[in-house]
Structure 1
Amino acid sequence: MNVINMKESYDAEFVRAVERESGQNVSLCYQCGNCTAGCPYTEFYDLPVSRIMRGLQAGQRDALLSCRSLWLCATCESCTTRCPNNIDVATIMDVLRHMARKAGKAPEPAVKTFCDAFLDSVRRHGRVFEMGLMTRYMARTGRFLSDVDLSLKVLPKRKLAMRPHDIVGKESIARIYERYDRKEGKQ
């Protein structure tokens, strides 16, 4: 039986940081379970959304930042839509995922790799270059043959460009990344 000693494990600063970054008051959650009931990915989660919210109220930083659910969340916002207290649960999930990334925790490495490849593509071109995204993802994960059947269907339809097309205003996107890098101390 898992027993949590709240005196030892409650991280008040973690709760405050999530509330500050998300703009949400997590104490408003009274565990009705609507978020979990509406989530299309609940069956794949190690922690259902309502347990994530309860863990957050209990200040369980390590358990939450290590859970797979954060990386599997599609941010479809069903949880937010169904919340009777108007808590933006999807934003909380995003904040937790960003905190997990900063803490170096990614129990779903393929999902993190895909996210990284996506963001790299946007950084370079101002938009997603799908072929480059998939090439980078496959190179980083070694999953070279996983989607061959799809590519055989898509390539003849010319739905994937072979060369990137930069957008007008690409510099504005670059400035967003620069501001983020400065904020995170990466420059």
Structure 2
Amino acid sequence: MDKVLTPETLKSDFIDKIAQESDQNVYLCYQCRKCAAGCPVTYETDYTPFQIIQGVIYGQRELVLNSKMIWLCTTCETCTTRCPQEIDIARVMDAARIIAQREGIKAKYPVVPAFFQTSLQNISWFGRLYEVGLIMMLKLRTKDFTKDMGLGIRMFLNRKLKLTPKPTALREVRRIFKKIKEIEETS
């Protein structure tokens, strides 16, 4: 027997989790696919932004949380700006990534969560992104010491990388991180 797809028949706790985490109503999508047309990373991914949104709507938790797309999305917001329904698709991708991490789903590209964690840690220490520190910490975390070494040397020789950090608004940034930690502990 055929099943009629309506918001009621499609209701799942997965879409509720995505909606809560992203504050977006993906049911507004009317399948124009403009989000997929402009995405700069679809050549490298398994699904387009449109397919991820449809996966969320249809409650395809495994498909969405195990996709390459949620990890390779650069949050450039091209999809978001092209959406005529003003769905913040980049936030939906972030939400899926957060849920995947919370549920212990292994990232398709382990360097991506390592990069996010390292960047946040770096910002919490220096109040801004300290590139050399970020690179060193990321290399230690991923144990990928020699990849991109030539590029790093060229950037250093061209004075694109500063050896010492210049902390900025450190007190304010640490206060923000403390507040986030308090919120996460209560939820």
TM range (shorter): 0.7 to 0.9
Q: How far does residue 34 in structure 1 lie from its aligned partner after superposition?
A: 1.1
Distance 2:62 2:183 in 1: 24
Task: Please tell me whether the aligned partners of residues 11 and 61 of structure 1 are also in contact (alpha carbons under 8 angstroms).
Answer: no
State the distance in 2 between where 1:44 and 1:90 align.
Answer: 17
d(CA) in 2 for partners of 1:33, 1:136 = 39
Q: Hey, what does 1:48 align to over in structure 2?
A: 48
- The offset of 1:184, in angstroms, is 2.0
Shift of residue 138 of structure 1? 0.9
Please state if 1:20 is matched with 2:20. Answer: yes
TM-score, normalised via structure 2 length: 0.87
What is aligned with 2:31? 31
**Deviation at 1:17?**
2.5
For residues 50-88 of structure 1, the C-alpha deviation after alignment (integer angstroms, 9 at most, x for no partner) is: 110011001222321221211100111111111121211
Letter in 1 for 2:122: S
Alignment of 1:1-187 (within 5 A): 12-105=12-105, 106-167=107-168, 169-185=169-185
Sequence identity of aligned pairs in percent?
38
TM-score scaled by length of structure 1 = 0.87
User: Secondary structure of 1:161's partner?
Assistant: coil
Distance in 2 (alpha carbons) for counterparts of 1:185 and 1:62:
27
Structure 2, unaligned stretches of length 5 or more? 1-9
CA distance in 2, matches of 1:111, 1:152: 23
Aligned CA distance change for structure 1 residues 116 and 107 (closer, same or farther; 3 Å): same
Q: How many pairs are equivalent?
A: 176
Residues 96 and 172 of structure 1, relative CA distance in 2, 3 Å threshold: same
Amino acid at match of 1:112: P
**Per-residue deviation at 1:11?**
6.5
Q: Distance in 2 between matches of 1:11 and 1:71?
A: 25
- Cα deviation, residue 139, structure 1: 1.2
- Structure 1 Cα separation of the partners of residues 32 and 87 of structure 2: 12
The residue type paired with residue 149 of structure 1 is G
CA distance in 2, matches of 1:81, 1:128: 26
Cα contact 1:71–1:97 (8 A) shared by 2: yes
Q: CA deviation at 1:126?
A: 0.7
Q: Deviations over 1:112-170 (max 9, x none)?
A: 11111111100111111111110011111122111121122111232212122211x21
| C-alpha separation in 2, matches of 1:172 and 1:60 | 40
